[in-house]
Structure 1
Amino acid sequence: MSDTTTQHSGSQGVSRRRFIAGTGSILGAAALIRPGASAHAATATKPASIGDGAHVPVLVIGTGYGGAVTALRLAQAGVDVQMVEMGMAWDTPGSDGKIFCNTTSPDYRSYWLRTKTKQPLSNFFGIPIDRDIPRYTGILDAEDFSGITVYQGRGVGGGSLVNGGMAVTPKRENFAAILPSVNPDEMYNTYYPRANAGLGSGLIDPAWFDTVDCYQFARVGRKQAQRSGFPFQFVPDVYDWDYMKQESAGTVPKSAVAGEILYGNNYGKKSLQKTYLAQAKSTGRVTISPLHRVTSVSPAAGGRYTVVIEQLSTGGDVTATKSVTSDRVFFAAGSVGTSKLLVKLKATGALPHLNGEIGRGWGDNGNVMCGRANYMWDPTGKIQASIPCGGIDNWTAGGAFAEVAPLPTGIETYASFYLSITKNPNRGTFSWNPVAGRVDLDWQTAWKQASIDMAKTIFDKINATEGTIYRTDLFGAYKIWNDTLTYHPLGGAVLNKATDNYGRLQGHPGLYVVDGSLIPGNTSVNPFVTITALAERNIEKIIAVDLT
């Protein structure tokens, strides 16, 4: 969830000296307040797709951050690129005139091949509020492994479609722990600036922030953090802030101010569709085939690779199987997608020379969620923009950085909500399960306790200062922490271990990894700027050395 989306919950006030007792959520109150959306899927125009038997110079598997950077830079270097994307193109409106459904009204567009929603904030008064939906190739995948659910974007643009857009560059002093084999000078002098420019990162106007109603929730979060001695930091985002000012003023169709985020944003967000991918397609050298899933990559004659691809219907059925050849293949299916595919290919003998580091070093970026119940004199506002703009930094002292997250339910919640990123040291490993014919992940929910302890260094202190308590009704009865998910999957094909120091896969020339699977488990902040910057660094070297 790329990068990261965190919008949920609500409640009602009681007496002045009592805490808020109940809550809905951006995801939950919605189910109680609004009627179910139509389950009728719109018919999308089918784009031209890669043909069976085709030969392409470069095949990029996935259209997220790493893949988008790779396609653009290769195209600018004069190379023709074919991209395949498991999800939809997301370029055709539904029956409501919108491409994406609202976070408060999940419909058939919301989830990837589920028949019931799996909302990150899933309870109201401890009662589950997930709803039935038609099975459809929706935009958000809640992929279940033992001990954890991994949220991922599905569609052209990958995680950029569904995250909160927080474009955070890690502090330089933390970089050595993130990517120890990479020169920080080149990252901070060249590639982070290049990535932020390409992504369209920008800061909220502080003066506007201080007065506008849709960021009252964040001002409450800032005030409470500072009263407990924690620094509040404005965080860049890839939203069009001028558009949001117009949304708030009511002069343009509302998007973030209407709560759109978890299942896509119809107007103001600068997803990859509007940035890197738009530039890539404008070169005339990049073709994208949506609803195409790669199942095999294996060596072919002449140093090429044979790639087997399944074409999918919007119901998830395989409608065609294609075999193509490519001179070079770039794995950009995201940390989970790339890791699962490479583990399978190594174990089944399709790519036998991959080394033993494949599947290792996977982490959740230390993600945990919690909510706090505020007093009635600290209302957080009925109207809340769904784009986060600030966070609480206790990384050095407590190992935690926390987004001050919105709860755009349309009702007053008197609640503060947070997605924390923590310095959790635990790492999982993907492995092939030959009996089940699938890739498993050995993650344990108990490993999240380290993240909870780190997040508590912030929120225990705020609660003590404010005289407030944690919410216990949002993730199940009496459950304070959501410790069963991540929006920020990282690792599984770690740089300079599973690959060389520029993403070339060991043992198979012409195969590359360019996504978040290169990063070993943690970035100390939201990860997509680092994924983008690393891809910029690596593809520059690959073009200079391998393609000349």
Structure 2
Amino acid sequence: MARSGDSAHHAAMTADLTRRHILGLAALQSAAALGLTRIGLTPAAAAQRADHFPAVVVGSGYGAAVAALRLGEAGIRTLVVEMGRLWDTPGPDGRVHCSMTAPDQRSMWFKTRTEAPLSTFLWLDVINKDITPYPGVLDRVRFPGMSVYVGRGVGGGSLVNGGIAVTPSRSYFQQMLPQVAADPMYDTYFPLANRMLGANTVPSAWFEATEWYTYARVARDQAARAGLKTVFMPNVYDFDYMRREADGTATKSALAQEVIYGNNFGKRSLDKTYLAAALGTGQVTLHTLSRARALRRAPDGSYVLTVERVDTTGTVVSTDEITCGSLFLGAGSLGTTELLLRARETGALPELSEEVGRGWGGNGNVMLGRANHVWHPTGARQSTIPVMAIDDWSNTANPVFAEIAPLPAGLETWVSLYLAITRNPERATFTYDAAKDAAVLDWTRAQSAPSVAAAKALFDRVNYANATIYRYDLFGDTRAIADDFCYHPLGGCVLGRATDPYGRVTGYDGLYVTDGSLIPGSIGVNPFVTITALAERTMARVLAEDRVGAR
């Protein structure tokens, strides 16, 4: 049963919502209660063709959610196709999501065992657990030289990330995306994205006093001894709610070891912001457990999307063809790129650019841990929401932005953990494997070497200044720095190469990309604010200039 603090939290959030948000949230809650996989407010749509929509959006992550809302606001009847489930129904324990320390089938996408980024502690296999295959909220997609973490469900990556809402430095943004005018981005679209996403910053006085961020203060002090600066990072987690968690007046979420498998409270994920508002327009319908498998163009110029509907065992229960006048791909760097590659290589869309599949990078992600002295405990109680980073990005010789990450084990570990974002110039290419009917990434471990070297150069300084060492027991072997997974997949359909400067796919009018595949491999910070802002820019231009949904 929810405590009074939970009710206050929901009341405070509701007070800020428009009528549209309220209608959309109600639609999501009703669908969850009834176990529906087709969600919307539009009875009128039932009288129209169920297999044709003026616009279809593939995916429900950041770029897709922006597209859905702006299409709905424009009065364009739109279908959103999401391969994951709606996460709004409590399990037997009364909670929608499971915690990091007690994972169950809700944790991973059709896995028999969890695959957390930290796989061992003191080289003991005590972190990952055997689970029953189920359409869980987090997926780890494995390629030969790199694994990619992605969210599965209504809201995509917003369900499983740490909520870090950082706007990139203007100079690096201009370097990576020179075809995008910086003034409108920094004057209009970044502020709009942050406002819509609900970004806020931890109150500094509370941060300094609370036991829940001891780990961040310890890491900050050690960085300072090495002459490095730290910065607070905005976040979409509601810090007023977190303070009530700490006071014991609200049910704990960030303070109950919840994050990579979803947060039950506190986080303003997309299902509570953009997607709720989109459904509230009455023009948007959402189909869950529906995976877009292929696309082609019909003789009349409309797009035909082949969609497989699955049940909770992963069994395909039907295969449908949906047509649309305009198609917006927001399935993420992996999903969007695979759809387009398959279409090009099978001849369904033969005029797609050779640039499709190129320009991929993991935003220079590597993870590492440091061993602190016993007189520098990091705290048995740790908030899972990161709020501080070491910012050495202005170091032209070795730019690094390193999030100070939690290790919420529920006991004292004396570990300082970091996710480092580095400026790695290496890029990879997706190719289509016809035998597997899948996209394959050719990233090699050697291409991670620049990221490892950059992180090591920075943290060698920290270790030297504090007389500390790396932890070698966290990643299943004896590595100090894990370089074989990433949280920030970027590229594959790079803006201005595979598309025009506004995400219009080269060679095909009415076909658009709105997600992280547009960003050429690196943006220097957590990318979701950039993805959201670019999608807002795209939708403003497309809706002003194109005949969206006209076919």
TM-score above 0.5, yes or no: yes
What do the CA deviations read for 1:382-407 (whole angstroms, capped 9, x no partner)?
Answer: 11110000100112221211000111
Matches within 5 A, 1:253-268: 253-268=251-266
Which residue of structure 1 aligns with residue 321 of structure 2?
323
From 156, 169, 172, the equivalent of 1:171 is 169
1:529-540 aligned within 5 A: 529-540=529-540
Question: Which residue identity is paired with 2:543?
Answer: I
2: CA distance, partners of 1:484 / 1:324: 37
Could you report, residue by residue, the CA deviation over 1:406-463 in whole angstroms, capped at 9, with x for unpaired residues? Answer: 1111101111000000001111100012233322110101211100111122210010
Per-residue deviation, residues 213-237 of structure 1 (Å, max 9, x unmatched): 1011111111111111111000100
Query: Is the CA contact 2:80–2:284 (under 8 Å) kept in the aligned structure 1?
Result: yes
Q: Which residue of 2 aligns with 1:113?
A: 110
Kindly state the Cα deviation for residue 339 of structure 1 after the two structures are TM-superposed: 0.7
C-alpha contact (below 8 Å) 1:125/1:477 kept by paired residues: no
**Cα drift, residue 119 of structure 1:** 1.3
- What is residue 447 of structure 1 aligned with on the other side? 447
CA distance in 1, matches of 2:295, 2:438: 16
Local SS of the residue matching 2:531: helix
The residue aligned with 1:73 is 70
Compute the displacement of 1:43 (Å): 9.7
Amino acid at match of 1:203: T
- How many angstroms apart in 2 are the aligned matches of 1:47 and 1:142? 24
Aligned partners of 1:89, 1:376: CA distance in 2, in Å? Answer: 44
Q: Counterparts of 1:53 and 1:343 in 2: how far apart (Å)? A: 27
Q: What is the letter of the counterpart of residue 520 of structure 1?
A: P
Equivalent residue in structure 2 for 1:207, among 205, 208, 215: 205
Q: Which residue of 1 aligns with 2:36?
A: 46
Q: Which ranges of structure 1 fall in alignment gaps of 5 or more residues? A: 1-41
Alignment of 1:45-444 (within 5 A): 45-48=35-38, 54-129=51-126, 130-397=128-395, 398-444=398-444
Q: Aligned partner of 2:111: which letter?
A: R
Q: Distance in 1 between matches of 2:279 and 2:311?
A: 24
After TM superposition, give the deviation of residue 477 of structure 1 in Å: 2.8
AA in 1 matched with 2:61 = G
Post-superposition offset of 1:44: 6.9
My pick for the range that moved more, 402-411 or 297-306, is: 297-306
Structure 1 window deviating more from structure 2 (341-350 vs 172-181): it is 172-181
**Distance in 1 separating the partners of 2:64 and 2:488:** 17
Q: What SS does the corresponding residue of 2:242 show, helix, strand or coil?
A: helix
AA paired with 2:83?
A: M
Q: Report how far residue 191 of structure 1 moved.
A: 0.4
8 Å CA contact 2:307–2:319 kept in 1: the answer is yes
After TM superposition, give the deviation of residue 48 of structure 1 in Å.
2.7
Q: CA-to-partner distance for each residue in 1:352-409, whole Å, 9 max, x for gaps? A: 1101000000000000000000001111111111000010011222121100011111
Query: For 1:491, what is the secondary structure of its paired residue?
Result: strand
SS in 2 for 1:302: coil
Q: Which moved more, 1:217-226 or 1:428-437?
A: 428-437
Counterpart-to-counterpart distance in 2, 1:127 and 1:207: 38
AA at the equivalent of 1:283: T
The DSSP-based 3-state class of the residue aligned with 1:361 is strand
1:57 alignment partner AA: P
Q: Distance in 2 between matches of 1:219 and 1:226?
A: 10
Q: Which residue type is aligned with residue 329 of structure 1?
A: L
Structure 1 letter corresponding to 2:443: W
Equivalent AA in structure 2 for residue 222 of structure 1:
R
Q: How far apart are residue 65 of structure 1 and its match? A: 0.2
Contact kept? 1:44, 1:92, Cα under 8 Å: no
Go from structure 1 to structure 2 and tell me whether the alpha carbon gap of 1:116 and 1:400 turns closer, same or farther (over 3 Å shift).
same
**Structure 2: how far apart are the matches of 1:94 and 1:293?**
24
1:392 and 1:49 map into 2 onto residues whose CA distance is 42
Kept after mapping to 2: 8 A contact 1:53/1:323 = no
Residues 504 and 492 of structure 1: CA distance in aligned 2, closer, same or farther (over 3 Å): same
Report if aligned partners of 2:78, 2:284 keep a CA contact under 8 Å in 1.
yes
* Higher helix residue share: 2
- One-letter identity of the residue aligned with 1:113: F
Partner of 1:124: helix, strand, or coil?
coil
- 1:189 partner amino acid: D
* Counterpart-to-counterpart distance in 2, 1:149 and 1:43: 35
**Conserved in 2, the CA contact under 8 Å of 1:371 and 1:470?**
yes
More off after superposition, 290-299 vs 172-181: 172-181
CA deviations 1:141-191 (Å, max 9, x no partner) are: 100011111000000000000000000001112111221210011100010
Residue 543 and residue 423 in structure 1: after superposition, are their counterparts in 2 closer, same or farther (change >3 A)?
same
Which deviates more, 341-350 or 129-138? 129-138
Shift of 1:110: 0.5
1:134 shift after superposition? 0.6
Deviation at 1:301, TM superposition (A): 3.2
Superposition pairs for residues 421-500 of structure 1, below 5 Å? 421-500=421-500
1:45 maps to amino acid = G
Whether the 8 Å CA contact 1:203–1:236 is kept in 2: the answer is yes
Structure 1 position 242, deviation (Å): 0.3
Partner of 2:11: none
CA distance in 1, matches of 2:112, 2:207: 39
Q: Distance in 1 between matches of 2:202 and 2:38?
A: 39
Q: Which amino acid aligns with 2:82?
A: E
Task: Give the alignment's TM-score, normalised by structure 2.
Answer: 0.90
Counterpart residue type for residue 71 of structure 2? L
* Matched residue type, 2:37: P
What is the alpha-carbon distance in structure 1 between the residues aligned to residue 34 and residue 100 of structure 2?
21
Counterparts of 1:64 and 1:415, CA distance in 2? 32
TM-superposed deviation, 1:476: 2.0
3-state DSSP of counterpart to 1:324: strand
SS in 1 for 2:320: strand
Is the CA contact 1:363–1:522 (under 8 Å) kept in the aligned structure 2? Answer: yes
Shift of 1:338: 0.5
Q: Which amino acid aligns with 2:220?
A: R
* Alpha-carbon separation, structure 2, partners of 1:515 and 1:477: 34
C-alpha contact (below 8 Å) 1:57/1:81 kept by paired residues: yes
Q: Is the 8 A contact 1:127 1:477 kept in 2?
A: no
Q: Which amino acid aligns with 2:503?
A: G
Determine if contact 2:65/2:274 at 8 Å carries over to the other structure: yes
Report if aligned partners of 2:328, 2:514 keep a CA contact under 8 Å in 1: yes
**% same residue:** 51
The CA distance in 1 between the partners of 2:149 and 2:477, in whole Å, is 22
- Contact 1:199/1:270 (CA < 8 Å) preserved in 2? yes
Residues 502-548 of structure 1 show CA distances to partners (whole Å, capped at 9, x for unaligned) of 00111111110000000000010000000000000011000000037
